[in-house]
Chains A and B, each alone.
Chain A
Amino acid sequence: MASVCFYFQVHQPQRLRHYTVFDHNQYYFDDHKNAEICRKVANKCYLPANRLILDLIRKYDGRFKVAYSITGVLIEQLFSYCPEVISTFEALARTGCVEFLAETYYHSLSFLYSRREFVSQISKQMQTIKNLFGQTPRIFRNTELIYNNELASLIESMGCFDAILSEGADHILGYRSPNFVYSPKGCKDIRLLLKNYTLSDDIAFRFSNHDWNQWPLTADKFGHWISKVNGNGFVVNLFMDYETFGEHQWKETGIFDFLKQLPEEVFKHPDNDFKTPSEVIEAYPPMGIVDVPHLISWADIERDLSAWLGNAMQSNAIHELYRLEKQIKSTGDENLISDWRKLQTSDHFYYMCTKWFSDGDVHKYFNPYDSPYDSYINFMNILGNLHNRISKYPQPAPVSIGHIFQNAVPNVVDSAAAN
């Protein structure tokens, strides 16, 4: 068998407005820009892609299936700026062929800094999905597919998940193929599904690249590549940003036509089908244990965290943010807590990334800043204002004023112990 397992990440951050050290206003978000981007992406991607997928599910009588992870921060924006997108997702949910995954509501890096915050953001996200789509997610994906053994153990200990999605990075798989189900090291029941990055990126990144020797990518050709997995794998995990359809790859590149024709090409081989992540782990046994002692992600060529925590500014900003957790929560001020959480969205730190030299293009996408330095300055000014707001509440306990900034990526074990 070769099962195609599509998972689409659907996310837009709440971008911050220009905020100088002289600003006092407690509103931090650029509603105008966020609305504009939401509507633009909805028109170019979410609406046409949802319509196409709904058509495909109907056309193939439920044999075409996909999975989505839609972040809480995007859902909030969709409700404000283009609620029709929510309706189309609801329609997809009703087909029974669409699985919704769990992640952190704020698309945050909280796993690295606060386990308590991490768990509470997952719960909030699951509640949101349950309310909207009537499903309780059974599969977890962490922000940017960030993963290690510890994450797997933590997710398993939550007792509500069957599997985790991550990146099929070469350095963790070695000679092994991502086209099987695996077990995370140190876990009993939970499963691991790893992204087939070659085939995923053929669609997500290379589809319209004229310099690529396989261009143009046709559904027919891609269907053959899928069929070749028969005999040496069970599942092809195609994980990508949903914005691939219509936004990263414009409609004019033929990306929608490609998706439209793909099921037919896949079904030409009698052993092929489409499965959701839950169906995949139901159908196929784990083929071994994957050991991931160090953090991985799906980003850039390094597949590490350097896009979010690679320089002193990023490290400083995120440390300063999480350092406020106890104080913020003790205020009981819902607006304050909500602002603090929206600042946790990983994109804010991504915009501060300075490794422009090889991965530049992806990093510029929808980046509202001219430079990573501007983004850091803006973030720190907002954090300064947030800090002032907290200081108006009585202080619970003395707060350590330790590091002003740190260069290194945080030691996850230490931050876990601290929480």
Chain B
Amino acid sequence: MRVFMLGWEFPPFISGGLGTACYGLTKALDQLGVEITFVLPTLVQTSYATHVKLVMPGMKIPQATTRRRTLKNVKFKTIKSPLQPYERPDNYQQRMEESLQRIRAAHGRATPSSRGIHYHGDMYKEVHRYADLAVKLAAEEEFDVVHAHDWMTYPAGIAVARATGKPLVVHVHSTEFDRSGEHVNQMVYDIERMGMHAADKIIAVSFLTRNIIIGRYGVSGSKVEVVYNGVERNGNGNGNGTAARTGISKDEKVVLFLGRITMQKGPDYFLRAAKKVLEKMNNVKFVMVGSGDLMHRAVEMAAELGIGSKVLFTGFLQGADVQKIYKMADLYVMPSVSEPFGIAPLEALDNDVPVIISKQSGVAEVLKHALKVDFWDVDEIANKIIAVLQHPALGVTLRNHGNYEVGKLKWSDSAVKCSQIYEELLVGAETG
């Protein structure tokens, strides 16, 4: 089985769950002997290109190649494109402007250069340029199935499938409704819809997502399969309190928010719950790990609520820093407004940190040993945070069972399901 896979991000160049999911899935498919050509957009790596450094301070390229080399049957191809995961078309415009200004400043030029980076201010055009390049790349490759991850790669997936006659699988890790609530971007929605309708099979990361696909995109349920994500087990299982805590005293409890600070992730509900918790107990710090378009708003909100000294913002962290944060944490809270899956709670449990998760999440479908709340129910979130912090027996039970339960959510199972879907498509293509 050979798969032409189109993605946005891959470790270590990640900013969210998509890269983690692509890594876990391709690694497990690799172990099943599935050959994968993984196509990634990369911003042109000139000395002016700043986004990698901005997003992941201190990360070196060699680590990436080492990690990728462990995958026997996976080839990586990159397409020079400034597309970034989790980007909004309006941000894209702005980022391009900023990037250009930086280049101009560096070169002491007052006018934009036509050389520099390949600048396409229009994200729509860029997504389609990426598709054209993907088709060219595909002409040099041999494969049986096209597998596209999330909307930016759907046009590329459709184009490659059309050019080669191979079946198309689109993998929905999130939808525009998850990211933007009811304020959907029409262009993104249209691309998603087009991808879903063009696909021979759709993989949804949860039933929550499957329902959105059926209900909001008008796709027949028979075409949508649910394949849950797994988790890479690398937690060292000594959660809470062992690491040195900067700015947090030893008798203080640590409640963690870890994710992009965007509307979708519910940072405001986290802060309002924090306020309620602090009305009942004082020895708690709330740590918000991540960055995003609501970061500044969140800092302001903490101040407005009068809990500024109790909330710490770390910015975006990854790798060893995330491990360190988990070691400090007594509890992880994911109050997402809409979370197609949510790998982070599994990582928290893997690190022996009990979790409170939003009922509006895919991961709530697979985790029994987690506290579940409606994201809007701030009182209940606070009630549960206090319970975990005040009753050690609760944390102990959640940790023991949760850690065991996480062990059962394996990427190998997800990979087996994906490869079954590929097989069925090929059989269908032959007989049909």
A residues apposed to B, CB below 8 Å? 20-22, 311-313, 315-317, 354, 356, 370-374, 376-377, 380-381, 404-405, 407
**A-B contact number at CB 8 A:** 67
Closest to A310 in B: B397
Binding-face segment, B234-242, B250-258, B313-321, B367-375? B367-375
Q: Is the CB of B394 within 8 A of A354?
A: no
Instruction: Tell me the smallest distance from the CB of A371 to a CB of chain B, in Å.
Output: 7
Binding-face segment, B25-33, B77-85, B377-385? B377-385
Partner of B387, one of A370, A371, A377, A405: A377
Given the interface pairs A356-B368, A371-B372, the reply to whether A377 lies near B393 with Cβ below 8 Å is no
Residues of the A chain whose Cβ atoms lie less than 8 Å from the Cβ of B394: 313, 373, 376-377, 380
Residues of the B chain whose Cβ atoms lie less than 8 Å from the Cβ of A22: 276, 280, 379, 382-383
Q: Could you list 16 A-B pairs, sorted by A, with CB under 8 Å?
A: A20-B383, A21-B382, A21-B386, A22-B280, A22-B383, A311-B397, A311-B400, A313-B391, A316-B391, A371-B368, A373-B371, A373-B394, A376-B393, A377-B383, A377-B384, A380-B394
Given the interface pairs A312-B393, A313-B393, A376-B394, the reply to whether A381 lies near B371 with Cβ below 8 Å is no
**Assembled-state Cα–Cα distance A22/B383 (Å):** 7
Closest to B387 in A: A377
**Assembled-state Cα–Cα distance A290/B276 (Å):** 57
Instruction: Tell me the smallest distance from the CB of A303 to a CB of chain B, in Å.
Output: 23
Residues of the B chain whose Cβ atoms lie less than 8 Å from the Cβ of A354: 369, 397, 401
The answer to whether B392 has its CB under 8 Å from any CB of chain A is yes
Instruction: Tell me the smallest distance from the CB of B367 to a CB of chain A, in Å.
Output: 10
Q: Is the CB of A313 within 8 A of B397?
A: yes
Majority secondary structure, A binding face: helix
Residues of the B chain whose Cβ atoms lie less than 8 Å from the Cβ of A377: 371, 383-384, 387, 391, 394
Instruction: Tell me the smallest distance from the CB of A18 to a CB of chain B, in Å.
Output: 9
Closest to B380 in A: A20
**Assembled-state Cα–Cα distance A157/B369 (Å):** 44
B residues apposed to A, CB below 8 Å? 276, 280, 368-369, 371-372, 379-380, 382-384, 386-387, 390-394, 396-398, 400-401
Q: Is the CB of B397 within 8 A of A373?
A: yes
**Assembled-state Cα–Cα distance A21/B368 (Å):** 23
Q: Is the CB of B387 within 8 A of A381?
A: yes
Instruction: Tell me the smallest distance from the CB of A353 to a CB of chain B, in Å.
Output: 11
Closest to A374 in B: B371
Q: Is the CB of B372 within 8 A of A316?
A: no
**Assembled-state Cα–Cα distance A315/B392 (Å):** 12
Q: Is the CB of B397 within 8 A of A312?
A: yes
Residues of the A chain whose Cβ atoms lie less than 8 Å from the Cβ of B392: 316, 404-405
Instruction: Tell me the smallest distance from the CB of B385 to a CB of chain A, in Å.
Output: 9
Majority secondary structure, B binding face: helix
**Assembled-state Cα–Cα distance A311/B371 (Å):** 16
Residues of the A chain whose Cβ atoms lie less than 8 Å from the Cβ of B386: 21
Closest to B359 in A: A370
**Assembled-state Cα–Cα distance A376/B382 (Å):** 15
Closest to A372 in B: B397
Residues of the A chain whose Cβ atoms lie less than 8 Å from the Cβ of B397: 311-313, 354, 372-373, 376
Additional A-B contacts beyond A377-B384, A405-B393 (19; CB < 8 A): A20-B380, A21-B280, A22-B276, A312-B393, A313-B397, A315-B393, A316-B392, A316-B393, A373-B369, A373-B394, A373-B398, A376-B391, A377-B391, A380-B387, A380-B391, A380-B394, A381-B383, A381-B387, A405-B392
Instruction: Tell me the smallest distance from the CB of B98 to a CB of chain A, in Å.
Output: 45
Residues of the B chain whose Cβ atoms lie less than 8 Å from the Cβ of A312: 393, 396-397, 400
**Assembled-state Cα–Cα distance A315/B387 (Å):** 16
Instruction: Tell me the smallest distance from the CB of A377 to a CB of chain B, in Å.
Output: 4
Partner of B391, one of A370, A372, A405: A405
**Assembled-state Cα–Cα distance A300/B390 (Å):** 31
Residues of the B chain whose Cβ atoms lie less than 8 Å from the Cβ of A405: 391-393, 396
Closest to B371 in A: A373
Instruction: Tell me the smallest distance from the CB of A384 to a CB of chain B, in Å.
Output: 9
Closest to B279 in A: A22
**Assembled-state Cα–Cα distance A218/B393 (Å):** 48
Instruction: Tell me the smallest distance from the CB of A16 to a CB of chain B, in Å.
Output: 14
**Assembled-state Cα–Cα distance A264/B396 (Å):** 55
Residues of the B chain whose Cβ atoms lie less than 8 Å from the Cβ of A311: 397, 400
Closest to A354 in B: B401
Q: Which of B394, B396, B397, B400 has the most CB of A within 10 A?
A: B397
Residues of the A chain whose Cβ atoms lie less than 8 Å from the Cβ of B398: 373
Closest to B373 in A: A374
Q: Is the CB of B391 within 8 A of A21?
A: no
Residues of the B chain whose Cβ atoms lie less than 8 Å from the Cβ of A373: 369, 371, 394, 397-398
Residues of the B chain whose Cβ atoms lie less than 8 Å from the Cβ of A356: 368
Residues of the B chain whose Cβ atoms lie less than 8 Å from the Cβ of A372: 397
Residues of the B chain whose Cβ atoms lie less than 8 Å from the Cβ of A380: 387, 390-391, 394
Residues of the A chain whose Cβ atoms lie less than 8 Å from the Cβ of B393: 312-313, 315-317, 376, 404-405
Residues of the A chain whose Cβ atoms lie less than 8 Å from the Cβ of B379: 20, 22
Instruction: Tell me the smallest distance from the CB of B400 to a CB of chain A, in Å.
Output: 8
Residues of the B chain whose Cβ atoms lie less than 8 Å from the Cβ of A313: 391, 393-394, 397
**Assembled-state Cα–Cα distance A376/B394 (Å):** 8
Given the interface pairs A354-B369, A371-B372, the reply to whether A21 lies near B387 with Cβ below 8 Å is yes
**Assembled-state Cα–Cα distance A399/B397 (Å):** 27
Closest to A352 in B: B397
**Assembled-state Cα–Cα distance A330/B255 (Å):** 39
**Assembled-state Cα–Cα distance A405/B368 (Å):** 23
Chain A to chain B: the 4 pairs with minimum beta-carbon distance, closest first: A316-B393, A405-B393, A20-B383, A312-B393
**Assembled-state Cα–Cα distance A21/B383 (Å):** 6
Instruction: Tell me the smallest distance from the CB of B269 to a CB of chain A, in Å.
Output: 16
Q: Is the CB of A370 within 8 A of B372?
A: yes
Instruction: Tell me the smallest distance from the CB of A227 to a CB of chain B, in Å.
Output: 46
Closest to B388 in A: A377
Instruction: Tell me the smallest distance from the CB of B406 to a CB of chain A, in Å.
Output: 15
Residues of the B chain whose Cβ atoms lie less than 8 Å from the Cβ of A407: 396
Instruction: Tell me the smallest distance from the CB of A77 to a CB of chain B, in Å.
Output: 27
**Assembled-state Cα–Cα distance A315/B398 (Å):** 14
Instruction: Tell me the smallest distance from the CB of B255 to a CB of chain A, in Å.
Output: 15
Closest to A23 in B: B383
Closest to A370 in B: B372
Instruction: Tell me the smallest distance from the CB of A24 to a CB of chain B, in Å.
Output: 12
**Assembled-state Cα–Cα distance A313/B392 (Å):** 9
Residues of the B chain whose Cβ atoms lie less than 8 Å from the Cβ of A317: 393
**Assembled-state Cα–Cα distance A407/B383 (Å):** 24
Closest to A356 in B: B368
**Assembled-state Cα–Cα distance A120/B21 (Å):** 60
**Assembled-state Cα–Cα distance A300/B383 (Å):** 32
Residues of the B chain whose Cβ atoms lie less than 8 Å from the Cβ of A374: 371
